[in-house]
Chain A
Amino acid sequence: MGTMNEIAVMDRSGDTKTIWDPDRPDEVEVARETFEKLKRKGYLIYRVNKMGNKGEQMLSFDAKAEKMIAVPPVVGG
């Protein structure tokens, strides 16, 4: 098993992770579907790296992105 990539989706439990092996097409497809579903719901998805460096906002799925964070729609409070 190679490196596992992940999308952490923020929710009531803190976050729920979808992980995939970029070398396994079936897992990549599940991750892609998750990504697309989140985008349709209005989530903002950011690719991040550790140490808090600014990453980038993801507009399309990248199977090679090691770590992404999905933020639920944000509203003014």
Chain B
Amino acid sequence: MANAWATATSSAEGAWYVWTRSTASSTATTTDPWPDWCGNSTTSSTVSVTSSSETTWLYWSQDGGYQVTPPARAETEEARVERLRLAEESAARWKAKAEEEKKAREAAEARAEALLVENLSEEQRADYRKHRHFVVHGRRARYRIRYGRSGNIDVVGRDGKIVHRLCAHPLETVPNPDTMLAQKLMLEHDEDGFERLANRHHIYDGPAAVLPALH
């Protein structure tokens, strides 16, 4: 349903008379403009016209007068059924895609974990299976590598407490076990280089000992 407003102004002749006789605008100010509109009187009246008729809207828009948004047509039952069918199909496609991506992620995680475990010592393997972390013994410190990608390396001092944390990971997004294996390999082969490369996160009010103290 279209709603449109029109104001006709005339100070000399009835509005309707003007509309039907010429293109001039007219205004009626009486409360009952109809007689004025139909007649040829000098009484002025102002009226606002609301039309819910498609015919009236068509006339107005064709005349170039008022720019009105075309009335929304009521949805037919057939269109509604089709719309719902398309929505269901789209939802099913998205769900299938999400499932597929989840399976791919799980497969990647399992594959990476197999590679990691294959390259751990027995002690590291036992720690990983129990706690999801393992320890790498460096020249200067012990590094507890926890499951994760960022900020997951605890640098542990002689007293067994965390001194600070390190954060470094492959630029490419790889499963977390891959990241942990990369960190292990780098620490073992270039401890100084890794410490220089990684971002350091300080520990304030550090936790109690996380590893046995070294005596």
Q: Interface residue count for A (Cβ, 8 Å)? A: 25
- Of B74-82, B172-180, B206-214, the segment with at least 4 beta carbons within 8 Å of chain A is B172-180
On whether the beta carbons of A71 and B111 are closer than 8 Å, the reply is no
> Do most interface residues of chain A lie in helix, strand or loop, or is the interface mixed?
strand
Given contacts A13-B107, A51-B122, A52-B121, contact A75 B178 (CB under 8 A): no
- Complexed CA–CA distance, A12 and B107 (Å): 10
Chain B positions within 8 Å of A75 at CB level: 168-171, 197
Counting residue pairs across A and B whose Cβ atoms lie within 8 Å, the total is: 98
Task: State whether the Cβ of B8 lies closer than 8 Å to any Cβ in chain A.
Answer: no
Within the complex, the shortest CB–CB distance from B120 to chain A, in Å, comes to: 4
Whether A77 pairs with B108 at a CB distance below 8 angstroms is no
A residues touching B (Cβ–Cβ < 8 Å)? 8, 10-15, 44, 46, 48, 50-54, 56-57, 69, 71-77
User: What residues of chain B lie closer than 8 Å to A72, measured between beta carbons?
Assistant: 170-172, 174, 182
Known contacts A12-B175, A13-B104, A77-B198; 11 additional CB pairs below 8 A are A12-B172, A14-B112, A15-B115, A46-B185, A52-B121, A53-B121, A69-B115, A72-B170, A74-B168, A75-B168, A75-B197
| Contact across chains for A76 and B122 when beta carbons are under 8 A apart | no
Whether B108 pairs with A12 at a CB distance below 8 angstroms is yes
Residue of A nearest to B114 (CB): A14
**B181 close to A69 (CB less than 8 A):** yes
Q: Is the CB of A54 within 8 A of B115?
A: no
Interface string of B152-174 (1 = CB under 8 A from A): 00000000000000011111111
Is B151 in the interface zone, CB < 8 Å from A?
A: yes
